[in-house]
Amino acid sequence: MSVVRLDPFRDLDNFLSQVIGRTESVKLQSMPLDAYRINDEFIFQVDLPGVKLEDIDITVENNVLSIKAERNLSPKQAMDLAPESLQYAIAERVQGQFLRQIILGDNLDTSKISALYEDGVLTLTIPVASHAKPRKISVEAKEKPTLVEASVV
């Protein structure tokens, strides 16, 4: 038995794209993301295949991490041609502007975020703030008062 996923809006969009040509979408797309913690760091990995490094913008404001990217998949052969000469037979790869916003807790040190972009994957590393790390509390023993024997005269 096979499972068929029905998405009438995607099917309609694909149909219209094929009939009237590929339309440029101004809506912001989301991007796939993994987030996990290793020891004292949170790691976010975002898939951005085909996005150029200069088309990635990362900001943090009021504990909101914003990742913006843009991808243009126009064929290199069509760059010098008139736009009407390009006619897609199939257009399934998503392009345009992408946006992902993540609300960060107060326990992360947003001043020390590092970012690495490699093989179409953006990796952000955010350390846990020092005030949020577990710490050892030392316990002191209070000395017992020394009893002095007194004699009554």
Higher pLDDT, 79 or 46: 46
Order of strands across the sheet with 64-71? 56-61, 64-71, 96-103
- Comparing 33-47, 63-77, 82-96, which segment has the lowest mean pLDDT? 82-96
> What is the tens place of the pLDDT at every residue in 20-67?
554 444 456 778 999 999 999 999 999 999 899 999 999 999 999 999
Instruction: Extract the runs of DSSP E, i.e. beta strands, from 72-132.
Output: 96-103, 114-118, 121-127
What does CATH list as the number for 26-79+90-130? 2.60.40.790
- How is the chain split into domains, by residue range? 26-79+90-130
Banded model confidence at residue 137, pLDDT cuts 50, 70, 90: confident
Q: What distance in Å separates the CA atoms of residue 152 and residue 25, rounded to the nearest whole number?
A: 100
pTM of the shown model: 0.65
